[in-house]
């Protein structure tokens, strides 16, 4: 029995629909609240490699997609949860796969999806005070943000380019 | 007994052993590392955001700039995702050309990795030798693609162009020469006492932890997990070629180094087979790929065995000329997460050795 139908029979209420990706990988759309339980079950049944977590902004909703692979069974499974765009929160799977840690931080950083139960949910690629989540569709690309390091070694983000230029000019004088 | 107090030590972002702009914040107890925090993102260029405003063909040059050491495999990773999405079939000769350049690129990557690792350990010879062989491969690449590092060679439907005159002979000469060189390097390094002391038993990572952290590629195979996407989830023409996945059970830095050495021989062997078929195959090297390319709606995730591990591209298409979303699974981004566990309880010079063999390119980590 394929893992897709196995999950469907076992977690019938939690599975909203099944689908096939364009490349033939079987996928399931899940209710967000059931994600952690299903991930635990998958991990215990041999799906030990979490390839990728990716978040996508579809304007009317958010999606988080998990690509999982089993080293033993040599099988793919794709999980997807659809989230409310105003309040995109889903359970963290770091307890199942530790490798999810940075991937979830990155998704939080760039797409702005919150992972409940993540041990250390901070921005990872962008500096902490950055304004907005760049991979969201409504991110304003016309506003420039500049980063500099203040005297305490903290990143500071400003929209005022002259601020950086002035400090550089001052350094030159000294 | 002397009383020690925990303190924090900063390494990087600009430091010769961080191979780019990566910053470590070490928590130390005396000279022992208790914890490592890695601060990444200094090279973040928003490549995934850029992808949203480029056509599929326009995005390929950007993939060259992800892992700038192995541009060919990056090209192919994205190309494969696009081909999976649109169901494009590729001429046989093009597939063999792709395999040929990708395997040579793997050698380039491993030479740079091993060379810079040994440079960090204080042996400057290997990187000079490594760059000498790398130069020969890059010359071959240049004659194919016109560029030495930013190739833009592998494209949806095939490759940029057929081989130039005299290419087969030059490639054959290289393949004939290279195994002897590799033997020399193995002799130079493998049994070197300092190398053994610096790498044996350092940076242990059990197979269970490696899998759980999402570590892939030579790192995973150095932990005794015989897993190679070319074999276990085959793509391109790898099924028709004879090779083996190189594995070592020791789980330490030295095992990861040996895996990389073995893989270079294996890559040469694959390249030889591919070159043989290229020589005897005729026909086109490019299938028709429309100038205004609109793939069907849908999602695709395709992954390949890049030199550094599993490289994946997740593409969401909305049926327009530009991808709706491109998400890149970069291998060192995931492998780096295991570093704190690998170096816990070791000294700072061990961090340099353990980190060196993770083999990162910051362009790939930060994207």
- Say yes or no: A124 contacts chain B, CB-CB below 8 A: yes
Domain B6-366 fold = Cytochrome-c3 Hydrogenase; chain B (1.10.645)
Q: How far is A174 from chain B (nearest CA, A)?
A: 23
Closest chain B residue to A147, measured at CA:
B42
d(CA B311, CA B160): 22
Domain A3-122 has CATH 3.30.460.80: yes
Euclidean distance between CA atoms B205 and B339, whole angstroms: 9
Instruction: Choose the closest CB to A99 out of B212, B232, B316.
Output: B212
Q: Does A16 touch chain B (CB under 8 A)?
A: no
CB contact under 8 A, A67 and B312: yes
Q: Which of B352, B354, B333, B334 is nearest to B205 (CA)?
A: B354
| B120: nearest Cα among B331, B357, B360 | B357
Give pLDDT, residue B108: 92
pLDDT (average), residues B104-126: 89
List the single residue in A with minimal CA-CA distance to B48.
A135
Q: Chain B residues with CB-CB distance to A under 8 A? A: 40-41, 44, 46, 48-49, 84-85, 209, 211-216, 225, 227, 232-233, 296, 298-303, 310, 312, 314, 316-317, 324-325, 327, 329, 333-334, 336-337, 366-367
- Compute the radius of gyration of chain A from its Cα atoms: 20
B259 Cα distance to chain centroid:
13
Q: Which residue in the set B49, B327, B334 is minimally distant from A54, CB to CB?
A: B327
By C-alpha distance, the chain B residue nearest A100 is B213
pLDDT, greater one: A114 or A12: A114
Cα dist from A36 to A32, B10, B289, B315, whole Å = 8, 36, 42, 25
A51 touches chain B (CB under 8 A): yes
Confidence band of B277 (pLDDT split at 50, 70, 90): confident
Confidence check: pLDDT of B226 > 80? yes
Token pair of A135 as six digits: 């991979």
Nearest-Cα residue of chain B relative to residue A136: B49
pLDDT score for B146: 87
Residue B21 or residue B328, greater confidence: B328
Chain A residues close to B84, C-beta within 8 Å: 22-23
Contacts of B209 in chain A (CB under 8 A): 98
pLDDT at B337 over 80: yes
- Residue A65: per-residue pLDDT: 92
Q: How confident is the model at residue B1 (pLDDT cuts 50, 70, 90)?
A: low
**pLDDT value at residue B313:** 92
Judged by CB atoms closer than 8 Å, whether chains meet at A74 and B298 is answered as no
- Are B325 and A135 inside 8 Å of each other by CB? yes
Mean of the pLDDT values across residues B159-187?
Answer: 88
Contact A126 B48 (CB under 8 A): no
Mean pLDDT along residues B10-35:
82
Q: What pLDDT is attached to residue B2?
A: 67
> pLDDT over 70 for what percent of chain B?
99
Residue B107 is predicted with a pLDDT of: 92
The mean pLDDT value for B118-125 works out to 86
User: Taking CB atoms and an 8 Å limit, are A51 and B212 in contact across chains?
Assistant: no
Is B40 in Cβ contact with A125 (below 8 Å)?
yes
Query: Could you tell me which residues come within 8 angstroms of residue B5 by beta carbon, excluding any fewer than 6 positions away?
Result: B29
User: Cα distance from B302 to chain A (closest Cα, Å)?
Assistant: 8
**Per-residue pLDDT for B225 more than 70?**
yes
Cβ contacts (< 8 Å) between A110 and chain B: which residues? Answer: 48
Q: Which of A141-150, B44-53, B95-104 has the lowest mean pLDDT?
A: A141-150
How far is B345 from B353, CA to CA, in rounded Å? 14
Interface test with B, best of A24, A48, A52 (most B CBs within 10 A): A52
A166 pLDDT above the threshold of 80: no
Q: Do A98 and B301 touch (CB under 8 A)?
A: no
Nearest to B314 among A50, A52, A99 (CB): A52
For chain B, the straight-line distance linking the first and the last C-alpha, in angstroms and rounded, comes to 47
Q: Write down the pLDDT at residue B314.
A: 92
Give ipTM to 2 decimals.
0.85
For residues B98-116, average pLDDT: 91
pLDDT 10s digits, B50-84: 988 888 888 999 998 888 888 889 999 999 999 88
pTM of the model: 0.87
Segment B228-259, tens digit of pLDDT = 888 888 888 888 888 888 888 888 889 999 99
How large is the average pLDDT for residues B269-273?
A: 90
- What average pLDDT does the segment A32-56 reach? 88
Packed helices B125-145 and B167-189: angle between N→C axes, nearest 10 degrees: 160
* Segment A81-135, tens digit of pLDDT: 988 888 888 988 898 888 899 999 999 999 989 898 888 888 888 888 888 888 8
Is B46 within 8 Å of A78 when comparing Cβ atoms?
Answer: no
Q: Tell me, yes or no, if A122 comes closer than 8 A to chain B by beta carbon.
A: no
3 state SS of B218: helix
What's the CA gap between B290 and B157, in Å, rounded?
10
Residues of B in contact with A46 (CB under 8 A): none
A123 to chain B: closest CA residue: B41
Say if CB A124 and CB A114 are below 8 A apart: no
Structure-derived torsion over alpha carbons of residues A115, A119, A124, A128, reported in degrees to the nearest 10: 90
Q: Report the alpha-carbon distance of residue B77 to residue B60 in Å, rounded.
A: 10
Best of B13, B36, B37, B41 to disrupt the A interface (most A CBs within 10 Å) is B41
Q: pLDDT per residue over B297-328, tens digit each?
A: 888 999 898 898 899 999 999 888 899 999 99
**pLDDT at residue number A165:** 66
Whether A52 sits inside 8 A of B329 (CB atoms) is: yes
| CB spacing of A49 vs B214 below 8 angstroms | yes
């Amino acid at each position: 029995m394929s893992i897709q139908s196995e999950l469907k029979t076992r977690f019938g209420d939690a599975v909203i629909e099944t689908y096939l990706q364009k490349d033939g990988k079987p996928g399931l759309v899940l209710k967000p609240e059931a994600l952690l339980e299903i991930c635990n079950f998958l991990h215990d049944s041999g799906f030990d490699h979490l390839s990728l977590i990716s978040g996508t902004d579809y304007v009317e909703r958010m999606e988080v997609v998990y690509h999982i692979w089993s080293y033993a069974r040599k099988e793919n499974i794709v999980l997807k949860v659809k989230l409310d765009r105003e309040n995109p929160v889903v359970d963290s799977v770091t307890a199942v796969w530790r490798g999810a840690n940075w991937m979830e931080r990155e998704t939080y950083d760039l797409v702005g999806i919150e992972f409940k139960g993540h041990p250390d949910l901070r921005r990872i690629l962008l500096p902490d005070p950055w304004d907005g989540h760049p991979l969201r569709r409504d991110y304003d690309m016309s506003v420039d943000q500049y980063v500099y390091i203040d005297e305490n070694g903290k990143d500071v983000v400003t929209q005022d380019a002259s601020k950086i230029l002035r400090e550089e000019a001052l350094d030159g004088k000294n | 007994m002397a009383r020690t107090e925990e303190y924090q030590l900063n390494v990087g972002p600009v430091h010769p052993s961080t191979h780019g702009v990566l910053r470590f914040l070490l928590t130390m107890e005396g000279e022992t590392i208790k914890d490592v925090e890695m601060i990444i993102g200094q090279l973040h260029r928003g490549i995934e955001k850029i992808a949203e405003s480029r056509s599929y063909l326009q995005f390929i040059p950007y993939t060259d700039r992800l892992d700038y050491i192995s541009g060919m495999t990056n090209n192919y990773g994205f190309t494969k995702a696009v081909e999976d999405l649109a169901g494009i079939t590729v001429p046989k000769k093009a597939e063999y050309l792709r395999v040929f350049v990708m395997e040579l690129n793997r050698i380039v990557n491993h030479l740079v990795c091993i060379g810079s690792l040994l440079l960090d350990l204080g042996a400057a010879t290997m990187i000079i030798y490594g760059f000498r062989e790398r130069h020969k491969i890059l010359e071959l690449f240049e004659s194919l693609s016109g560029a030495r590092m930013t190739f833009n060679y592998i494209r949806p439907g095939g490759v940029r162009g057929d081989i130039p005159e005299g290419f087969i002979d030059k490639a054959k000469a290289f393949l004939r020469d290279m195994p002897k060189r590799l033997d020399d390097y193995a002799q130079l390094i493998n049994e070197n006492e300092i190398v053994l002391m610096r790498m044996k038993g350092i940076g242990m990572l059990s197979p269970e932890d490696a899998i759980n952290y999402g570590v892939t590629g030579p790192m995973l195979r150095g932990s005794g997990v015989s897993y190679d996407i070319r074999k276990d989830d085959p793509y391109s023409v790898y099924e028709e070629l004879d090779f083996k996945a190189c594995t070592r059970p020791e789980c330490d830095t030295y095992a990861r180094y040996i895996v990389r050495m073995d893989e270079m021989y294996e890559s040469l062997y694959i390249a030889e087979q591919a070159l043989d078929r290229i020589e005897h195959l005729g026909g086109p090297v490019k299938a028709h790929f429309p100038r205004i390319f609109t793939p069907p709606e849908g999602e695709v995730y395709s992954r390949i065995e890049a030199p550094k591990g599993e490289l994946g591209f997740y593409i969401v298409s909305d049926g327009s000329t530009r991808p709706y979303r491109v998400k890149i699974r970069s291998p060192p981004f995931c492998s780096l997460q295991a570093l704190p566990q690998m170096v816990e309880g070791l000294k700072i010079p061990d961090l340099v050795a353990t980190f060196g063999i993770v083999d990162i390119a910051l362009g790939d980590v930060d994207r």
